[in-house]
Amino acid sequence: MKWSIGIDIGSVSTKGVLYNGQVWHSEVISTGWSPSQAGKEVLERLLLTHGLTRDQIQIVVGTGYGRIQEGMFDKTFSEITCHARGSSYLLPEACGFIDIGGQDSKVVALAKTGKVRDFVLNDKCAAGTGRFLQVTAQTMGLEVSQLSDLAREANSVAINSMCAVFAESEVIGLLAQGISKSCIIAGLLQSIAKRIGVMAGKLNFQGCIIFCGGVAQNQVLKGLLSKEIGCKLFVPPKPQSIGALGAAILGYDLIKEEE
């Protein structure tokens, strides 16, 4: 049996996927301070969990901001290429994907062939990224994983600051006025949905869009985004790992080409 591994070293988490042409298994760990250490650790975990050795893996493909690690990968691809491959593998009819990660957000339109048609990126500021949610959740003494449940059914309060730093002060001000955390969180999620909606508006989507990246675990945001864009969103299983999955599949494609 042939195996490939894809590793996506992100700013917040490092994802690894083991793939054999039919099934995939994933591992997610925190990147911490050392991207190379995180890359090695996720690789070791995948091997250990599945009783494999490095020699049994035909190719290890890297992606993500930490992919430039000397000697670690046989091949590297950009995050957009990997997410596109992972998305079209999981949902061939997807007309695009939205990836909201720890430090950037990407809205990408796919052609019918699964290739990238066009894209809009935000990698310059924390607004509309996981970082924005992390900072504001922390201000309220909460974990990002609690936000969705708290925002459900809540009436959103308007959040005017787009910048994560100013939004933090605005949240502190709203809490001081006695506004509930639930209403504030609903407002924060609405502001992310608006921001991503503007990016998506440039790409003229018609059809189903994959929503991936760590932030896609927030179901309330999924609903808000879907309304904002006017398209159905599909959150795949393990949405954080779609880039690593795409890297593993691209690696597997290369093994098959060589044969």
Q: Which residues bind ligand ADP (CB under 6 A)?
A: 10-13, 101-103, 130-131, 133-134, 144-145, 213-215, 217-218, 240
Minimum separation from the CB atom of position 28 to ligand ADP (A): 7
Residue 133 near residue 193 (C-beta atoms within 8 A): no
Using the minimum distance from each CB to ligand ADP, give the nearer residue, 3 or 76.
76
Using the minimum distance from each CB to ligand ADP, give the nearer residue, 120 or 144.
144
Using the minimum distance from each CB to ligand ADP, give the nearer residue, 197 or 213.
213
Minimum separation from the CB atom of position 217 to ligand ADP (A): 4
Minimum separation from the CB atom of position 243 to ligand ADP (A): 7
Q: In what order do the strands lie in the sheet with 233-234?
A: 116-122, 105-110, 96-100, 209-212, 233-234
Minimum separation from the CB atom of position 113 to ligand ADP (A): 25
Using the minimum distance from each CB to ligand ADP, give the nearer residue, 147 or 250.
147
Exposed e or buried b for every residue in 91-122, given b needs 16+ CB within 10 A? beebbbbbbbbbbbbbbbbbeeeeebeebbeb
Using the minimum distance from each CB to ligand ADP, give the nearer residue, 12 or 47.
12
Is residue 90 classed as helix, strand or coil in its secondary structure? helix
Question: What gap in Å lies between CA 30 and CA 10, rounded to an integer?
Answer: 9
Residue 129: both structure tokens together: 């990224």
Minimum separation from the CB atom of position 22 to ligand ADP (A): 25
Q: Which of 10, 61, 71 is nearest to 35 (CA)?
A: 10
